[in-house]
Each structure stands twice: as C-alpha cells, then as structure tokens.
Structure 1
Amino acid sequence: MNTVQIDVAIIGAGSAGLPAYRAAKAAGASVILIEGGPHGTTCARVGCMPSKLLIAAAEAAHAASHTAPFGVHVDGTIRIDGREVMRRVRSERDRLVGFVLDSVDAIPAHEKLTGYAHFIDDGLLQVGDHTRVRARSIVIATGSSPVIPQKYRALGNRAIINDDVFEWTDLPRKVAVLGAGVIGLELGQALAYLGVDVTVIGARGRVGPLSDPDIKDYAAKIFSTSFRFEKNAEVEAADRIGDSVHIRFRTDAGKIVDDSFDYVLVAAGRKPNFDRLGLKNTSIKLDPQGNPIFDPHTLQVGAHPIFIAGDANGVLPIQHEASDEGRAAGTNAANFPKVFPLIRRAPITIVFSDPGIAMVGARHANLAPESFVTGEVSFEDQGRSRVMLRNRGLMHVYVDKTTRKLLGAEWIGPDAEHIAHLLAWALQMKLTVDAILEMPFYHPVVEEGLRTALRNSVAALKATA
C-alpha cells in the first residue's frame, strides 16, 4: 500500500476540482487530484455542451419548417435523420471532452491519482485499493448525479437519464419526460422539434426555474404548443411491457391518462455524490440526509480543513459558479487556517428553450412583498421580435421602491440568454433603474423590450411615490 503525504487533496476532477487544483498550486501548496469516474467534466460529457448540440439541431429543424410566413417556401418534406443528428452530437461532444482530457493529461503524474476516495478518518483518505493519502486540507468536488425514484428503476434500460440521451445512435419515436425543470424542458422541447412525440410530466406546477406566477403561466402555455405538457400531474403507475413503458398519470384536472412510450427520461433532480466518501468515518457533522454541514460563504465544513465546491454542495449548480467555488475552495484549503469568504457574482440562470427563459438577481418568490415594483413588457408586439416572427414572451423586472436599484428579473422571450447578461452586469454594478435607462439602446433590437419593462417600472415607482 502506497502512502502519500500532501498539503491539499482534491476529490473530483471536474468543473470545480480542476480550478481547485490550479488555485491550491498557485497558492504554493503541494496538491494531489483524485478522480474515480470518467474525466471530462459533467458539463462537457453529459451536460451543458452535448445538450446544446442537440438543441442546435432542433433549432435548425424548427426554423426550416417555419419559413412560410416569410413567403419563403421549402418544397418537399423536411427530413430529419436521427442517426445523423446523434452522430454529430456524439462527435462534437467527444471533441469537447478531448480538450478537458488534454488539460488533465498535462498534470504531472505524481499529482493525480485514479480511484474512488473514501475517508478513513478526518485527514486520511483511501484511494482505490492502492494508495492512502494523508492531507492537511481536503476539497470535496465530487459533483452530483441524477435522481431516479424507486418506481422507475424496474423499467431497466427504458428508464434513462440525460447522460443516456447523448449515447443514442438514433432518435426514438415517443418519449415521456418526468420533470419540468431546466433539463426536462430543454431536452423535451429539443426532442419534440426533432420529430419525437414528447410528453412532459411535471409536478407542483413547476416550469423550469421560474417563480413569478404570471411568467410561469405564460411559459406553460408556450411549452404546451411544443409538446403535451402536464405541469402538475401525478404518475400513478409505470410498467415495462416488452420494449416500451406504459404510464398511467393523473392530470391537474383529475383526468386519468394511460399511454405508452419508447423511453422514460427521468429528469427529477440531482443529488450530491457523497455516497462513496465514507463520511461516517469522520467527525464531520452531517444533516439528516447525510450531507456535510458547511458554510456556503467560505465553503468550509464546520471547523475542519475540509471544503465543498461545485455541484456537490448544491448551492448554485451552474458551471461558472462551480469554477468560482473551486478556485475559492482550493485557495482556502492551501491557506488554512486563513479562510476567506467567496465573493459571488450576480445570480444568473438561463434555460436554452424556444423562447429562452432567464432569471437574474433575486427570485420573485424571495422578494419581500410591498418592497418593490414590477416593470412589464410583452414581446408579442415588440418591434424587432415581431419582424423576426419570434414575438412570444413576457418579462418582469423588479425594482426596489426605496433605492430604485434593480433587484432582479424573470422572463421568457427572444434572445433571453443575451439580455440576461446585460441585466446581470447591471445588477452586479448595483445600478439604479435610472442609470440603466441612461445606457444606449439601438433601434431596432430586441433589447428595446427590456427598455420598455424598465420604463414601466419607473412609471410604477412614480405611482407609489
């Protein structure tokens, strides 16, 4: 059995672990990076990048089939070749993963270990069956995994997660998506645009990350034009019958629906990957779910020289947040006992749907009632949006009554991913609505819709003065 003495051990070589490794090294610590699963990061292998490849194909198919209103007629039938679609998804995915693998390969061999790590005690790790690592500080960056409820596990390979979609060699005929969160909506709509018969079955009225009731209702109507969308249904039974799955669910109106599908795509959330770590062998305090209790500002676990970064902590499971947390955790681990709080960027969430969904800053559900005004714009008659026939959308911006500062926004609409960045930058700069309106808005652009919403909030401020 080999034994390694090190300053900082990092468990996980993904979007948080790799930045943690670099940050700890930059701080002068000796570091070892431990990975038991496949390299390449969740984002590159099965997350943000392959999903966008599938979405890009879906957008091309959708655009090709909606040219007639412009007077542009495509003769003949638009043919979607599922094998070609998935071949490009896998090929480009593998190319992107290759870039990450190159960065891992560049790490010196003595600074990385292959194998799953688990705690023997607070500072001692067992890696595989070959190495023990005694570390002064530890960063846990083990990521998260999709949750598959027990009722779907008996369905075998007909119950899939998003990882499995990107291994398809062809597109199926009919799919049920269980869950109306970000993954469920993105993949559900992409598959529907590519000709798959899709039913999305949600629960508790969820529509992506949205919390504003008006925006949620509007978005639900939009998605219902792309696929059968039951945002508040209950699955009563799911049975494997040959190579198909039979599902019985009860709709919000109490109607019982029986249907059969080729696959059930389970998008019911994710859980942190702590199962293999042997945390019960330590003195770390755990919550009722068995997760370490930690400080979300410093990422430190109690008073221990242990830090949790990325999807494993569940604070903000977004790629750029994971990278930021990794750098902070690596720096704190190297400098322990000096520990510094992480300075977070303005919150931003984007759903790559059609039209896009975006949220910036405070969620509507978390705002104190009567402390803010709401500015609104509909994109249905917004100039540039209507010119492009992308005029579906509703936006709410929230402005503090006292300071007139932008607090946040939730919306669905065209170019949401780009407008979200403008608002996030304004929010991080702590701008007032008046200062934002002093910025240039070119004509004609979709961003003029944002200006309308901001002007609407100014009118609301005057009405409450």
Structure 2
Amino acid sequence: MSTRECDVAVIGTGTAGMGAYRAAKVHTDKVLLIEGGVYGTTCARIGCMPSKLLIAAANAAHAAQDAKGFGVHVHGIGVDGAEVMQRVQRERDRFVGFVVDAVNSWPEADRIRGHAAFESPGVLRLDDGTRVEAKRIVIATGSRTFIPPPLAALAAERVDTNATVFEWPDLPESVAVFGAGVIALELGQALHRLGVRVRLFGRSQRIGGITDPEVAEQAREALGSELPLALSSAVDTVVDEGEGFAVRWRDADGNAHEERFARVLAATGRIPNIDGLGLEHVGLPLNAQGLPDHDPATGRCGDSAIFLAGDVTGELPLLHEAADEGRIAGDNAGRYPDVQTQRRRAPLAVVFCEPQIAAVGQNFQALCQSGQAFAVGQVDLSGQGRARVMRENVGVLRVYAAHDTGRLLGAEMVGPRAEHLAHLLAWSVQAGLTIDEMLAMPFYHPVVEEGLRTALRDCAHALHRGPKPVAGCSEYGPGD
C-alpha cells in the first residue's frame, strides 16, 4: 500500500473528467486522474457516436424504402444486420481510440487506476489499498441506466442498455424498448427502420423530453405513425422465457395486452455512478439522489473543496454540458480558494430521431412556472416549401419571447433539420437577440430556415398584441 499526494484529484476520465484535468493543470502540476473502469467517454463508447452510426444505417435503409415517394423505385433492398453492427463497432472503436490515445498521452504519473472511495473530505482510498490525499477533489464519475421494477426482476445480463446494444453481433428479430426519452426514441426508431420489430413503452404521454403540449402532440403523431408506441402504459410483468421475453401490459384504457420479444432494452433514464464512493464521509448533507448540492456556475459543493461535474450531477446529461462542467469544476479546483462564477451556455438539446426533436433555452414548462409574461410564435411545417420538396414536411416549431423586452427566451420543435435550426436559436438566445433583430437576419430561399422566419413573424405579432394567457400553460402550475 502507498500514499499519493496531490493538489487536485479528479475521479473519472470521461468527458467531464478529461475537461477537469486539463483545466486544473493550468493552475498546478499536481493533478491526479483516477479511473476505475476503461478509458473512453460515454459519448464515444456507448452514447453519441455509436448511436449515430446505427441511426445513419437506419436512415439509409429508410431512404431506399421511401424513395418510391419521389418516383424512384429501388428493388432488392436488404439489411444485413451483421454488417450493420460490424460497421457500428469498427467506427465506434475508432472514436474510442482517439479518446484513449488522448488520455494515454498525458503523463503516466498523473494517472492511476482503481475505484476510489472517500475516507474523509480530502482522503480517498482505492480498491488496491492506495491512499490518495488531495487538497481538492472533482467527482466526475458519470451515470448509468436506471432499471425500472419490471426489468429489475430479471437477471442483469438479460437486460440490454445502451452499454450493451452496440456489442450485438447481429440485429435481433424483435426488441421491447422501455422509455420514451432520447435514447429510447433514437435506438427504437433506428432498430425499427433496420427491420427489427419494435414496440416502445412509456409510462406517460411525455416523449423526447418535450414540455410544450402542442409540440408533444405533433411528435407523438409523427413518430407513432411509423413506430409502434405504447404510451401511458402500465407494464405488469416481463417474463424471461429463455428464448425471449413475454411482456404483459395495460394501455391507457386499461385493456390488457401481451407480446413476445427477443430482447428487452432499458432506456428509462440515468442515475449517478456513486455506489461505493463513500459520499457519507465528505462532511456535507446529501440530497435525495445521494449527492451533495453544488453550484452549476462553479461546480463547488457548498463551501467545501469538493466539486461535481458531468453526468453524475443528473442535470444536463449531454456531452457539451459535461465538457463545460468539467472545465468549470477543474478550473475552480485548480485555482481554489479563488473560486469564480462562470457563465453557462444557452441550453441546447437534440433528439436524432426522424423527425428530429430539439429544445433551446428555457422550455415551455419552465417559462409557465416562472410566471414571466411571454409570447409564442409558431409555424406548422407541413406546408413549409423546402420540407415539402424533401417529403419531410411534418412537425411544428414554437418560439418563446419575453413581452417586456422582445428577447428570444427559448424554443421547442419537432421537424426536419431541427439540429440546425436549434443551433441558430441557441446562438440567438445566448446573444440576447430580440425577435425583431432575428427577423433582420438573412434568410435564403428555399431552405427550411424560412420556417423559422415564419415562426418569428408570428411571435412578433403576438408581442405587438400584448400579454395574454398562453394556451397550455395551465397544466404547469407555478413551481410544479
């Protein structure tokens, strides 16, 4: 057994941990990076990149099958599941390799392998007995899939998650997907488009994280026309029958159903990786999630020398947010006690299903609960010119602006090219642009962005009419 001393210890080498390490190293050379698992971020190994590889294959198959809508008839379309998965894994490994190479390029003396646990606020014990004495500690241990009760009764190795899907040697005949969030929609639709029989189970009518009821309705209609959805369902049992699983559930009307699937996939939210971390020894009160509360603008927990960053916080489990949180926490851990508040970027989230879903800035629910007077502008994308040319004319875009200033506050949307529209909107929110200032920007023709101009014009009219109740806000009472 040995003792290591450092100014900053970073637990976890994912996106947040890597960002924290780099930021802390600006202030001190005595930074120790601790990893109990494999190198390679969630994004590269089991998240963003492999999922987009699977989606790309799925969209290629769908485009071929849907080409007849343009008068183009493609014959002999086939999906080789093994080849699809081989490409996913090959390209995934390439992305992971870049991350591993980056970590391995850092000084070996700065890296240590092992699972860490707190003995006291400034002391960690690794599972090999190594003692780490750190003046400041950044917790960046990430998160994992939450397994709900019906699936928790099964053997752990029989339940697939995003951590196992991309290891499949071939595509299964059928999959029951549990959840209606980002991962569920992306993987569920991708598998469906690749010829896998899929049904997606959700406990409510919420889908893709959308809070605006009009956008959510359009999303349910658009996605449900292609992908079998069992929303507002109550799953009674999931029985492992060896060769597959029998899922028994009741729909929103109480009608009983049963269907058999080759695999079950849990995409039911994330929980922080804090098991065995010994947070009860950090000397801080813990919240319902078992974590000390922290300031997102500094990463700091209370008045301690402990910082949180990345998915472990459970707030915004997105790569760019984890990178920012790691940078902020690492910088403040490195410069401690000169902790500085740092500005966060405008919120931006995208679901890469088709049609795409996106949310920017303050969402509809947050604005309703804030009590702030805001106006809504929208465009129905079913008649949008470029979208119709591409046969992607489905969805709605809703933008929100403050009545007192006219500034853009946020937006929610489902529709074509939402990932690009969302970036324009996020930049506008962060820049503090008003609706009139956005309308003064150039819009080319014919592009989907012209739909954004229509929504902005509608919002400008609503602003000029003055404050009035916003339809749909009543379902979100203040503070709900």
| TM-score, scaled to structure 2 | 0.95
Residue 421 in 1 paired to residue 420 in 2? no
Q: How does 1:25-104 map to 2 (within 5 A)?
A: 25-75=25-75, 77-104=76-103
Give how far 1:49 is off. 0.5
Match of 2:388 in 1: 386
Alignment CA distance shift 1:312-1:370 (3 Å): closer
Deviations 1:263-315 (A, max 9, x none): 11111111111112111233122123422222222211121100000001112
Q: Specify the code of the residue in structure 1 equivalent to 2:336.
A: F
Q: Distance in 2 between matches of 1:43 and 1:128?
A: 26
Residue 21 in 1 paired to residue 26 in 2? no
Q: How does 1:111-126 map to 2 (within 5 A)?
A: 111-126=110-125
Residue 401 in 1 paired to residue 400 in 2? no
Q: Specify the code of the residue in structure 2 equivalent to 1:446.
A: V
Match of 1:463 in 2: 465
Deviations 1:402-442 (A, max 9, x none): 11111111010100001100010011000000000000000
Match of 2:246 in 1: 246
What are the ranges of 5 or more consecutive residues in structure 2 without an aligned counterpart? 468-480
**Local SS of the residue matching 2:167:** coil
Match of 2:263 in 1: 263
Q: How many residues align?
A: 464
Give how far 1:462 is off. 2.3
Q: Distance in 2 between matches of 1:151 and 1:383?
A: 46
Q: Specify the code of the residue in structure 1 equivalent to 2:117.
A: H
Give how far 1:29 is off. 4.2
Judge conservation of contact 1:285–1:302 (CA < 8 Å) in 2.
Answer: no
What are the ranges of 5 or more consecutive residues in structure 1 without an aligned counterpart? none
Q: Distance in 2 between matches of 1:149 and 1:376?
A: 36
Match of 2:168 in 1: 168
Judge conservation of contact 1:20–1:329 (CA < 8 Å) in 2.
Answer: yes
Q: Specify the code of the residue in structure 1 equivalent to 2:188.
A: G
Judge conservation of contact 2:355–2:415 (CA < 8 Å) in 1.
Answer: yes
Q: How does 1:186-265 map to 2 (within 5 A)?
A: 186-265=186-265
Q: Distance in 1 between matches of 2:285 and 2:427?
A: 37
Q: Distance in 1 between matches of 2:171 and 2:428?
A: 42
Q: Distance in 1 between matches of 2:172 and 2:158?
A: 11
Q: Distance in 2 between matches of 1:239 and 1:169?
A: 24
Q: Distance in 2 between matches of 1:173 and 1:315?
A: 35
**Local SS of the residue matching 1:93:** helix
Match of 2:356 in 1: 356
Q: Distance in 2 between matches of 1:462 and 1:336?
A: 49
Give how far 1:370 is off. 6.9
Q: Distance in 2 between matches of 1:370 and 1:307?
A: 32
Q: Specify the code of the residue in structure 2 equivalent to 1:464.
A: G
Judge conservation of contact 1:379–1:392 (CA < 8 Å) in 2.
Answer: yes
Q: Distance in 1 between matches of 2:241 and 2:154?
A: 9
Greater shift in the superposed pair: 211-220 or 142-151: 142-151
Q: Distance in 1 between matches of 2:70 and 2:227?
A: 24
Match of 1:444 in 2: 446
Q: Distance in 2 between matches of 1:68 and 1:151?
A: 41
Alignment CA distance shift 1:231-1:151 (3 Å): closer
| TM-score, scaled to structure 1 | 0.98
**Identical-residue share of aligned pairs (%):** 51
Q: Distance in 1 between matches of 2:253 and 2:460?
A: 40
Give how far 1:130 is off. 4.0
Q: Distance in 1 between matches of 2:204 and 2:259?
A: 21
Q: Specify the code of the residue in structure 2 equivalent to 1:391.
A: N
Q: Specify the code of the residue in structure 2 equivalent to 1:408.
A: G
Match of 1:109 in 2: 108
**Local SS of the residue matching 2:383:** coil
**Local SS of the residue matching 1:260:** strand
Alignment CA distance shift 1:259-1:125 (3 Å): same
Judge conservation of contact 1:174–1:198 (CA < 8 Å) in 2.
Answer: yes
Q: 1:371 aligns with which of 365, 370, 373?
A: 373
**Over aligned residues, Cα RMSD in angstroms?**
1.2
Q: Specify the code of the residue in structure 2 equivalent to 1:340.
A: Q
Q: Distance in 2 between matches of 1:230 and 1:401?
A: 39
